Amino acid sequence: MDLRQLKYFVAVAETRNFTRASERLHMAQPPLSRQIQLLEEELGVTLLLRNTRPLKLTEAGRVFYEQALQILSRVDQLVHTTRQIGLHQRQTLSIGFVASTLYGGLPALMRKLRHQYPEVDMQTIELTSMQQLEALKSGRIDMGFGRIRLNDSSLQRTVLREEQLALAIPPSSDLAKADGPLSLKQVQGQKLIVYPKEPRPSFADHILHLLHDQGVRPAQVYEAGELQTALGLVAADSGLCLIPTSARLRNDLHYRLVEEPQATSPIILTHRINDQAWYIEAIKGLAADM
């Protein structure tokens, strides 16, 4: 097995078609098919179901595809890093983030990281938690900060902190007449605004599952595109919205903490599994200090 075969298999797995894969690889189809066959013979398992259109991956093929992506990404990173060192260039660290983490301590963490490692060029890219998953696999980013617990065997996640949720309330609501913590039960029968509308799963699903586990049923659920839109709709008296406490952005709304201990939103560091790069432990250490 060699890297060339891994690249061939990834192309077939992504196009689900030998003809399109051969066009992408700029090679004839017969030798491509033969290389995939040799790969399967070496592994002793079937990776592709060829009697379907488009082609389908077997369970073994799916796992092999995910691992092959990681290997190829690491090889690309190895080549890039080696060239940088050889040419005395600055190292680049690409970091994905969910917008709401900007209100939850990420800027302070980034400042400390830049201060301690001034020789590293740090690039930040706004991505949803789902988009971060694919960006990590493809090597587009080195790590991601999100809020959704996404299970993927090729990625490792670390919860840096659990942030208590707050309820954003329009001033006209009876719930705005008090300041103390309230229970999720008080969302029962109320109009609720969740965000983002897509892609899913998202923070919206986190909130809906939390309410479901508590047996709370809103009268109506409206899906907004983003946090700012959701809070704007609360200000327009369209409903209530559960948000991380750090995301209390508008001063024309009333906010009350949610008292249930499980009513939290995690800030999660995600990176490729078995990634031993220096920045993983550096960020975990800085987060622990903070």
The CATH number covering residue 15 comes to: 1.10.10.10
- Domain match, 276 and 174 both: yes
- In the chain, count of helices (H) and strands (E)? 9, 11
Q: How far apart are CA 261 and CA 263, in angstroms?
A: 5
Which of residues 45, 60, 81 is at a domain's end?
81
Burial degree of 201 (CB within 10 A; 0-12, 13-18, 19+): middle
Per-residue pLDDT for 73 more than 90?
A: no
Q: How confident is the model at residue 47 (pLDDT cuts 50, 70, 90)?
A: very high
Identify each DSSP E strand in the chain by its residue range.
48-49, 56-57, 91-97, 120-126, 143-146, 155-169, 191-194, 220-223, 241-244, 254-257, 264-272
Using alpha carbons only, give the angle 113, 115, 121 rounded to the nearest 5 degrees: 70
CATH number of the domain that residue 224 is part of: 3.40.190.290
Closest CA to 37 of 9, 71, 4: 9
Residue 168 has pLDDT above 80, yes or no: yes
Domain boundary residue, one of 50, 81, 112 = 81
Same domain for 109 and 181, yes or no, is yes
Identify whether residues 134 and 202 lie together within a single domain: yes
More confident residue, 217 or 199: 217
* Entry field: residues in the chain: 290
Pairing mode of beta strands 191-194, 220-223 = parallel
- 83: pLDDT strictly greater than 70: yes
**Closest of 241, 231, 129 to residue 193, by C-alpha:** 241
pLDDT at 150 over 90: no
pLDDT level of residue 26 (50, 70, 90 thresholds): very high
Last-in-domain residue among 49, 81, 113: 81
Task: Decide if 55 contacts 17 (C-beta within 8 A).
Answer: yes
Q: Confirm whether 223 is domain-assigned.
A: yes
pLDDT of the residue at 56: 92
Question: In the predicted model, is pLDDT for residue 183 greater than 80?
Answer: yes
Confidence of residue 85 (pLDDT cuts 50, 70, 90): low
The DSSP call for residue 240 is B
Same structural domain, 97 and 216:
yes
The Cα-based distances of 285 to 98, 270, 276, 278, 282 in angstroms read 21, 15, 14, 11, 5
Distance CA 223, CA 229 (A): 10
> Residues 226, 106: one domain?
yes
Q: What is the pLDDT of residue 104?
A: 74
Residue 29's pLDDT is what? 92
Residue 214 to residues 69, 123, 188, 218, 276: CA-CA distances in angstroms?
40, 40, 10, 12, 40
Is 142 a domain residue?
yes
What pLDDT sits at residue 87? Answer: 67
Please count the structural domains in the chain.
Answer: 2
pLDDT at 88 over 70: no
Q: 263 and 187: one domain?
A: yes
Does the pLDDT at position 48 exceed 80? yes
187 pLDDT higher than 90: yes
> Is 86 inside any structural domain?
no
pLDDT of residue 206: 93
**Segment 276-288 mean pLDDT:** 85
> Can you give the pLDDT at residue 274?
82
Q: What percent of the chain has pLDDT over 90?
A: 62
Q: Does pLDDT of 89 surpass 70?
A: no
Please indicate, yes or no, whether residues 13 and 129 belong to a single structural domain of this protein: no
Of 211 and 286, the one with more pLDDT: 211
Same domain, 235 and 114: yes
User: Where in the sequence is the domain holding 209, given as residue range(s)?
Assistant: 91-290
ω into residue 199 within 30 of 0, thus cis? yes
* 115 has a pLDDT exceeding 80: yes
Instruction: Note the pLDDT of residue 9.
Output: 93
How large is the average pLDDT for residues 28-34? 93
**Residue 141 and residue 258 in one domain:** yes
Q: For residue 90, what pLDDT is reported?
A: 63
Q: Is 77 left (phi over 0), alpha (psi -120 to 50) or beta?
A: alpha
Mark whether 77 and 100 lie in a shared domain.
no
User: Is residue 125 domain-shared with residue 243, that is, in the same domain?
Assistant: yes
The per-residue pLDDT of the chain, averaged, comes to 90
User: Does one domain contain both 227 and 171?
Assistant: yes
